[in-house]
Amino acid sequence: MKKVFVFLLGLVLFFPKATLAFCPVCTVAVGAGLGLSRWLGIDDTIAGLWVGGLTVSLIAWTIDWLNRKNIKFKGRKILTVVLYYGFIVAPMFWLGIIGHPFNKIWGVDKLLLGIIIGSIFFLAAGLFYQFLKKKNNGKAYFPMQKVAMPIGTLIIFSLVFYFLTK
């Protein structure tokens, strides 16, 4: 995890861009949150929320990078999504991290459920931020709103699942 954090920090410091789909601080915060939750032994549903958020952030960064490099081909966005989720979920399934019969909530694997919910709501918060910014003449309503909305969403759902699984 330390190597991942150092790598992401390097990206933030050495390759800043004015417009990214999700800000680098947001991505580093999600990665740090995931590492911390696993280290603390927090429920897999909550860890999955952060995996989902990180995955959405990485997908957005990749698509943004492809756009900036003018790499365009039919289906590149859906291919990017499928590859990221495939590279993340498949190894967890093969290693038995996802699919254990005693690690379920509502009949769904806890980690997988967290990934799905985290992905959906992290993306929704990012899109909602863009909508609000557009309505406010291209300006955020408060400092660090671009970070606060997606990360705040993950924190809120983490608290919800903490009390649901307690």
pLDDT at 135: 94
**How far apart, in whole angstroms, are the C-alpha atoms of residue 19 and residue 76?**
20
* Cβ atoms 37, 50 nearer than 8 A: yes
| Longest CA pairwise span in the chain (Å) | 50
pLDDT at 30: 58
pLDDT at 36: 74
- 78-118 per-position pLDDT tens digit: 999 999 999 888 888 887 778 888 888 899 999 899 999 99
Q: For the chain, which ranges sit under pLDDT 50?
A: 1-2, 4-20
pLDDT at 90: 86
Q: What's phi and psi for 111, nearest 5 deg?
A: -65, -45
pLDDT at 25: 59
Tracing tokens 């680098």 back to the chain, one arrives at: 24
pLDDT at 115: 94
Query: Could you state, in order of their start, the residue ranges of all structural domains in the chain?
Result: 24-164
pLDDT at 10: 46
Q: Looking at the DSSP assignment, which residues form a beta bridge with residue 105?
A: 108
Q: Is the pTM of this model over 0.85?
A: no
pLDDT at 35: 63
List b or e across 56-83, with b for residues whose CB sees 16 or more CB atoms inside 10 angstroms: bbbbbbbbeeeeeeeeeeeeeeeebbee
